[in-house]
Copies of this chain bind each other. A is one copy, B any other.
Amino acid sequence: MKEDIAVIGLGTFGFELAVQLSKLGHGVLAIDTDEKKINAIKDEVSVAVQADVTDEDVLRKLEIEKFDKVIFGMSNALESIILSIAHMKKMRVKYIIGKANTRIKKEILLKIGADEVILPEISTAQRLAERISTPSILEKFEIDAATSLIEIKVPGKFHQKTLKELDLRKKYGITVILRRHGASTQVISRPDIKLEMDDIVFVLGDEAVVKKVFVD
């Protein structure tokens, strides 16, 4: 069974989250104080309720403790969020996810009892900085502290070279795992596969080493 989720605060984040979770098969209770937002979302989720979550009686009537996760979509009304989380902790709500727009708010929500707090503005800024910094790295996938899987363009210097010739594993401890050429993606199974400039490859290894080897 898919978990039942309550989403509180239907701004851009909460609205998107509630609709996506509903599409993915979850039972979703959407809550906001604004009737307009409730009307806008009511056909997209299981239940939509206009309610004030700073009121403990309201939370009890909604049986908020029966939901597997409660997620706050709002981050500005700090006092309301804190009050609401405090009630929920008393009611033994299983898992509370907060959202914050500054690091200090994240710390506060964790102290009040949120199990997890996400920071959309900061995580997006970090992703954007990385993308701008190494444009030939298309995506990055951290596997563990020392190893990443990096999607990167093949530089001109590797054009028409085979993996055997380049010998990247022995020389630098990095492994080319996949090669994308136009629309086709192939798993690297033989070392005589030839790379071409602007092919996309997925390389496993230390990020700094991969950058050094691949970026011209």
- Residues of chain B contacted by A185 (CB below 8 angstroms): 143-144, 147, 204
Q: How far is the CA of A23 from the CA of B3 in the complex (A)?
A: 41
Mark A14-32 against chain B: 1 for CB-CB distance below 8 A, else 0: 1011001100111000000
Residues A124 and B118 in contact in the complex (CB < 8 Å), given A178-B143, A180-B143: yes
Mark A25-55 against chain B: 1 for CB-CB distance below 8 A, else 0: 1100000000000000000000000000000
- Residues of chain B contacted by A122 (CB below 8 angstroms): 12-13, 16
Do A16 and B149 have beta carbons less than 8 Å apart? no
Residues A133 and B25 in contact in the complex (CB < 8 Å), given A120-B124, A139-B141: yes
Given contacts A17-B128, A20-B126, A144-B185, 6 further A-B contacts (CB under 8 A): A12-B119, A12-B122, A26-B133, A120-B121, A143-B202, A149-B149
A-B contact pairs, 13 of them (CB 8 A): A13-B121, A17-B129, A20-B129, A20-B130, A24-B129, A69-B132, A97-B128, A120-B125, A141-B151, A143-B185, A144-B180, A144-B183, A178-B204
